[in-house]
């Protein structure tokens, strides 16, 4: 048999061909083998192949492969895709590392890195440039004809954006404006360089408004001057819009990359990365999978933010951790920055894995914003509430507006009302596909019910389907808060920023430039925005942030509220954070009110006592099925098999939302010790799940989430 295989291989090679392995954008635990009619094939080349009757664009991962099956059964490569750029071997090694850590396949990582490519990059760039020029001339014409100042400002912003896109070129970012640092910033910068010299990741813990961004840009200047490239990560698209303007003042050729830009612009950024010239990319987590070359610095701003975690599809990665993985393939330095670092990062700093750098002084030497807690239970008893707003808060808002200050209001739920209840039978209207209440939204003149999990929508009639009784909205979402504020402050300019907002960049820009007096929004308003005139920030129904069935709930609430606090008083003026809550004695609220630094130590002690991360590593196994009986038996059987590894398995148990889009859900939670067996046990978990799927023909029902949030 071996002689026959060798003979067939010899005959094929005599015909000037070879066997290659190909990575396909599929969930495959192996890499298919194909044959070519040429020996001139390099790793990373792009090929078109047929697999299971369908045609795919793949990447050559190995050459001169010895087939593991009869060569006569191996299909030839359909064609070589010379119009698509080759993938570097460094990228492929990086993909394999991500796949190994997050227990997914390299094909799934490849699909995340190269979601779709159908045309030549150069052709697309030329067409994109032509379209940009046409659009620019059209908007310039509109700007010339604009009649109002508001319209002129908006059109001017669009023209400036299009001009910047046309000016972008694959060249080293120019540096025009020197960065001036305070003494405390210079001390922090020197400390960061010392951490880098030790080969460690730097954790910059700087209070809000301390000027962490200027330190990042000083480090970026150094990297670029040495011929290295820079990747600057932010958690949210909305945050990148404001930051882009600040960075362009120093680095005019900065490239922006996130999910909302066009495919043509994404390709343009990729071309810059492959050019071999130093570049500066500002992006969200997906920018990690660009074809990076010669990275010298990676900045992860607001490193604690949960938006860095990819929930679906695979790879379910954390951008902060993958940034550190990526740095090792390029020999790049990494700096993580936050006013409220994650407990995982604090643990890594205390363990010596990271180097901790602190920045305690605000850039403009102002005092930290004051915290004022309003007990809404007490206010309701004495009729001190107007809708969802307390009279005490309204007085502070009036005072702020009277001196031309701005107000930012946080309500962590979008919609008009988070739920609707029948006044007759008492039933709450739920989504027919999910085990969650539907939210009431106002869209223009219409009122609709929307499920925030699966997107199911139905008209709002105001009548209960069960008994015909009258439906009553419960609670207040951002839309209702906005509506109440408009009635209370008719002369103020009020806007909203949430998942239903159309042009997020325009909303942020108008508030930043003082054209909006009051801005209402969800958690996205707590991110690292910098607003000059913002004097008052207020939280409506803070209890929704605290009452979550998650061991990280207190940490997340503290981070969010502390970040939100830092949005006010950014230019030397003392700001104010007002918190409306039914639980004024909650430990998180008390820690904020008293500025208690010991609360982080308390949280870490609790994590250690219960063997939770960061003292252990967690892997979640999520099982979904449309048949609840089958789900129950399968999840129990899987738990039994996982327990034989042996590892600590909790579950299966139903999560707080146990049905989404018609799929019932059960969770298994696995805690792993941070020791030498960690890597091998994770590998066993992946192998056990794969074996279970094959044995029970249960593929497509199970998801593995490493380091879940």
For residues 116, 121, 123, 128, the Cα torsion angle rounded to the nearest 10 degrees is 80
Instruction: Give the whole-angstrom CA distance, residue 129 versus residue 533.
Output: 38
- Tens digits of residue pLDDT in 38-97: 778 999 999 999 999 999 999 999 999 988 888 888 999 999 998 888 999 999 999 999
For residues 47, 50, 55, 59, the Cα torsion angle rounded to the nearest 10 degrees is -30
Class in CATH terms, 2-113 = alpha beta
**Residue 324 pLDDT:** 98
Instruction: Give the whole-angstrom CA distance, residue 147 versus residue 46.
Output: 52
**Residue 118 pLDDT:** 42
Inter-CA distances, 373 with 438, 561, 589, Å: 30, 12, 8
Would you tell me which CATH number, out of the four given (2.60.40.10, 3.90.1150.10, 3.40.50.300, 3.30.750.24), belongs to the domain 170-355? Answer: 3.40.50.300
Rg (CA), the chain: 28
**Residue 547 pLDDT:** 78
261: pLDDT confidence band, cut at 50, 70 and 90?
confident
Instruction: Give one DSSP letter per residue of 173-220, joined into a string.
Output: PP--SPPP--HHHHHHHHHHHHHHHTT-EEEEEE-TTS-HHHHHHHHH
Instruction: Give the whole-angstrom CA distance, residue 559 versus residue 562.
Output: 5
Produce one character per residue of 483-496: b if its CB has 16 or more CB atoms within 10 Å, e if not: bbbeebbeebebbb
Segment (H or E) for 654:
none
**Residue 176 pLDDT:** 56
**Residue 14 pLDDT:** 41
**Residue 158 pLDDT:** 75
Instruction: Give one DSSP letter per residue of 371-425, joined into a string.
Output: EEEEEHHHHHHTT-EETTEEHHHHHHHHHHHHTT-EEEEE-S--SSBSEEEETTT
**What percent of the chain lies above the pLDDT cut of 70?**
92
Q: What are phi and psi of 365, to 5 degrees?
A: 60, 15
**Residue 315 pLDDT:** 96
Instruction: Give the whole-angstrom CA distance, residue 619 versus residue 621.
Output: 7
Mode of pairing for the β-strands spanning 79-80 and 46-51: antiparallel
**Residue 676 pLDDT:** 93
**Residue 119 pLDDT:** 38
Task: Report, as an integer, the average pLDDT of 596-609.
Answer: 91
Inter-CA distances, 88 with 30, 35, 93, 106, 221, Å: 20, 21, 9, 15, 26
180: pLDDT confidence band, cut at 50, 70 and 90?
confident
**Residue 571 pLDDT:** 62
Do the domains 370-414+490-604 and 170-355 match in fold?
yes
- Tens digits of residue pLDDT in 389-409: 999 999 999 999 999 999 999
Class in CATH terms, 370-414+490-604 = alpha beta
Under 8 Å CB-to-CB from 208, ≥6 apart: which residues?
339, 362, 562, 563, 565, 566, 567
- Tens digits of residue pLDDT in 215-225: 999 999 999 99
For residues 255 and 272, the answer to whether their CB atoms sit within 8 Å is: yes
**Residue 526 pLDDT:** 81
Segment (H or E) for 54:
strand 54-63
Instruction: Give the whole-angstrom CA distance, residue 197 versus residue 324.
Output: 16
Reduced to 3 states (helix: H, G, I; strand: E, B; else coil), residue 595 is coil
The residue behind tokens 């813990």 is: 205
**Residue 55 pLDDT:** 94
- Tens digits of residue pLDDT in 94-148: 999 999 999 999 999 999 999 865 434 444 445 555 666 777 788 788 788 777 7
What number of other Cβ atoms are within 10 A of residue 7's Cβ? 11
Instruction: Give the whole-angstrom CA distance, residue 588 versus residue 539.
Output: 14
Q: Quick one: 576 exposed, middle or buried, by C-beta within 10 A (0-12, 13-18, 19+)?
A: buried
For residues 478, 536, 515, 136, the Cα torsion angle rounded to the nearest 10 degrees is -70
Least confident of 12-21, 290-299, 330-339: 12-21
At residue 11, does pLDDT exceed 50? no
- The residue that leads in pLDDT, 238 or 586, is 586
- The residue that leads in pLDDT, 8 or 292, is 292
Question: How many residues are recorded in the chain?
Answer: 709
At residue 244, does pLDDT exceed 70? yes
**Residue 366 pLDDT:** 64
At residue 233, does pLDDT exceed 60? yes
For residues 206 and 337, the answer to whether their CB atoms sit within 8 Å is: yes
- Tens digits of residue pLDDT in 636-693: 999 999 999 989 999 999 999 999 999 999 999 999 999 999 999 999 999 999 999 9
Segment (H or E) for 249:
none
**Residue 533 pLDDT:** 87
CATH of domain 616-706: 3.30.70.600
Residue 455 has what DSSP assignment? -
**Residue 364 pLDDT:** 64
**Residue 173 pLDDT:** 53
Q: Which pTM value belongs to this model?
A: 0.87
What number of other Cβ atoms are within 10 A of residue 350's Cβ? 12
Under 8 Å CB-to-CB from 358, ≥6 apart: which residues?
188, 204, 205, 206
Task: Report, as an integer, the average pLDDT of 485-500.
Answer: 92
Produce one character per residue of 210-231: b if its CB has 16 or more CB atoms within 10 Å, e if not: bbbbbbbbbbbbbbbeeebbbb
Mean pLDDT of the residues in the chain: 88
Break the chain into its structural domains and give their ranges: 2-113, 170-355, 370-414+490-604, 417-475, 616-706
Beta bridge partners of 463: 470
Inter-CA distances, 707 with 158, 206, 347, Å: 40, 25, 15
- Tens digits of residue pLDDT in 15-32: 556 899 999 999 999 999
**Residue 240 pLDDT:** 73
């Amino acid at each position: 048999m071996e002689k026959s295989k060798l003979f067939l291989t010899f005959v094929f090679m005599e015909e000037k061909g070879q066997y290659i392995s190909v990575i396909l954008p599929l969930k495959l635990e192996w890499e298919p083998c194909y044959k070519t009619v040429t020996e001139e094939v390099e790793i990373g080349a792009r090929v078109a192949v047929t697999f299971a009757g369908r045609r795919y664009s793949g990447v050559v991962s190995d050459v001169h492969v010895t087939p593991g099956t009869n060569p006569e059964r191996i299909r030839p490569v359909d064609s070589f895709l010379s119009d698509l750029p080759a993938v570097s071997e460094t990228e492929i090694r990086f993909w394999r590392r991500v796949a190994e850590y997050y227990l997914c396949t390299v094909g799934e990582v490849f699909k995340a890195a190269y979601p779709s490519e159908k045309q030549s990059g150069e052709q697309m760039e030329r067409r994109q440039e032509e379209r940009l020029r046409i659009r620019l001339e059209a908007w310039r014409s509109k700007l010339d004809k604009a009649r109002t100042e508001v319209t002129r400002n908006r059109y001017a912003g669009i023209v400036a954006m299009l001009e910047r896109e046309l000016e972008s070129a694959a060249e080293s970012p120019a540096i025009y404006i020197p960065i001036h640092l305070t003494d405390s910033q210079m001390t922090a910068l020197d400390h960061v360089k010392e951490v880098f010299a030790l080969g460690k990741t730097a954790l910059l813990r700087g209070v809000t408004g301390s000027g962490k961004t200027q330190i990042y840009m000083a480090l970026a200047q150094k990297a670029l001057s040495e011929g290295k490239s820079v990747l600057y990560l932010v958690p949210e698209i909305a945050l990148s819009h404001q930051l882009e303007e600040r960075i362009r003042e120093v680095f005019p050729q900065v490239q922006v990359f996130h999910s909302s830009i066009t495919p043509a612009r994404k390709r343009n950024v990729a071309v810059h990365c492959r050019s071999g010239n130093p570049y500066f990319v500002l992006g969200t987590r997906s920018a990690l999978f660009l074809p990076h070359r010669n990275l010298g610095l990676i900045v992860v701003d607001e490193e604690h933010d949960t938006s860095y975690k990819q929930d679906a599809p695979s790879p379910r990665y954390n951008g902060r951790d993958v940034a550190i993985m990526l740095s090792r393939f390029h020999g790049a330095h990494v700096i993580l920055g936050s006013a409220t670092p994650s407990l995982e990062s604090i643990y890594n700093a205390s363990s010596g894995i990271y180097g901790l750098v602190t920045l305690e002084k605000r850039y403009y030497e102002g005092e930290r914003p004051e915290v004022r807690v309003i007990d809404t239970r007490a206010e309701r008893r004495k009729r001190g509430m107007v809708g969802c707003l307390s009279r005490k808060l309204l007085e502070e808002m009036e005072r702020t507006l009277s001196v031309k200050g701005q107000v930012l209001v946080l309500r962590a739920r979008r919609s008009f009302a988070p739920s609707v209840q029948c006044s007759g039978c008492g039933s709450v209207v739920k989504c027919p596909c999910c085990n969650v209440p539907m939210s009431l939204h106002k869209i223009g003149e219409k009122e609709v019910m929307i499920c925030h999990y699966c997107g199911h929508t139905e008209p709002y009639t105001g009548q209960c389907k069960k008994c015909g009784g009258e439906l009553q909205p419960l609670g207040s979402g951002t839309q209702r808060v906005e509506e109440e504020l408009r009635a209370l402050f008719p002369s103020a300019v009020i806007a909203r920023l949430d998942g239903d907002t159309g042009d997020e960049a325009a909303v942020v820009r108008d508030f930043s430039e003082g054209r909006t007096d009051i801005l209402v929004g969800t958690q996205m308003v707590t991110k690292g925005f910098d607003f000059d005139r913002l004097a008052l920030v207020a939280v409506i129904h803070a209890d929704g942030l605290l009452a979550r069935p998650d061991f990280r709930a207190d940490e997340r609430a503290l981070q969010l509220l502390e970040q939100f606090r830092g949005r006010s008083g950014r230019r030397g003026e003392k700001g104010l954070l007002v918190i409306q809550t039914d639980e004024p004695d909650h430990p998180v609220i008390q820690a904020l009110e008293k500025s208690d630094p010991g609360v982080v130590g308390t949280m870490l002690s609790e994590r250690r006592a219960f063997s939770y991360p960061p003292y252990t590593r967690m892997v979640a196994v999520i099982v979904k099925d449309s048949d609840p009986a089958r789900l129950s038996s399968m999840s129990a059987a899987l738990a039994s098999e996982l327990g034989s590894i042996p590892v600590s398995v909790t579950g299966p148990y139903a999560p707080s939302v146990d049905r989404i889009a018609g799929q019932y859900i059960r969770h298994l939670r696995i805690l792993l010790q941070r020791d030498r067996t960690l890597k091998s046990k994770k590998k066993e978990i992946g192998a056990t799940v794969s074996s279970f799927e094959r044995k029970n023909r249960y593929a497509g029902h199970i998801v593995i989430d490493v380091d879940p949030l």
